[in-house]
Amino acid sequence: MQALPLLNCPRAVHAARALIADPERAAQQPLYVRTMAWQIARDRACRDHVRYHLSHLPEGA
């Protein structure tokens, strides 16, 4: 069994997005793998969203 990927690792985010984009491959994976892929993609989108909206604040605010 492979170790779980780091949630903020760019390779893990890319792999999660690729799995979500390919429904045939996703259907062959267990539910927990599909759930983890959605969570990784969602968390990455949330981080990008927060970073964009807080970018106007001074450093350390």
> Could you tell me the pLDDT band of residue 1, with boundaries at 50, 70 and 90?
very low
Measured CA to CA in angstroms, residue 28 lies from 1, 5, 14, 36, 44 at distances of 17, 19, 18, 14, 24
Measured CA to CA in angstroms, residue 11 lies from 14, 18, 19, 36, 55 at distances of 5, 10, 12, 14, 25
Query: Tens digits of per-residue pLDDT, 3-60?
Result: 555 666 788 889 999 999 999 999 999 999 999 999 888 888 887 777 777 777 676 6
